[in-house]
């Protein structure tokens, strides 16, 4: 009888540990998915290219969404992507 209760105790401990580990992984996955959806909405660093603008007489940086030089847009793009990569 003593061994039967000890076995039940070990099974209970194992189930509790499994539930806690599953909850931890589910929380980590939720955080990761929410971070990824935020990063997807930003322009890609790989879409950055330069183009010579004759009217201004200088090279400007662009992305797939338009010019990046407005209000430090290139710096913001590069710094936000670094934060998303973490």
Q: pLDDT value at position 2?
A: 86
* More confident call, 17 vs 80: 17
pTM for the model:
0.41
Percent helix, strand and coil across the chain, each rounded to 5?
Answer: 65, 15, 15
* More confident call, 35 vs 81: 35
Average pLDDT value for the chain: 76
* More confident call, 45 vs 48: 48
Residue 40: which pLDDT band, with cuts at 50, 70 and 90? low
Q: What is the DSSP letter of 67?
A: E
Q: pLDDT value at position 7?
A: 94
Q: What residue ranges do the domains of the chain occupy?
A: 1-41, 43-86
């Amino acid at each position: 009888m003593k061994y039967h209760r000890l076995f039940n105790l070990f099974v209970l401990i194992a189930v509790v540990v499994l539930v806690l580990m599953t909850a931890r992984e589910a929380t980590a996955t939720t955080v990761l998915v929410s971070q990824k959806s935020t990063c997807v909405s930003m322009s890609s660093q790989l879409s950055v290219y330069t183009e010579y603008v004759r009217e201004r007489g200088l090279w400007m940086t662009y992305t797939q969404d338009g010019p990046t030089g407005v209000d430090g847009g290139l710096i913001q793009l590069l710094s936000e992507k670094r934060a998303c990569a973490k």
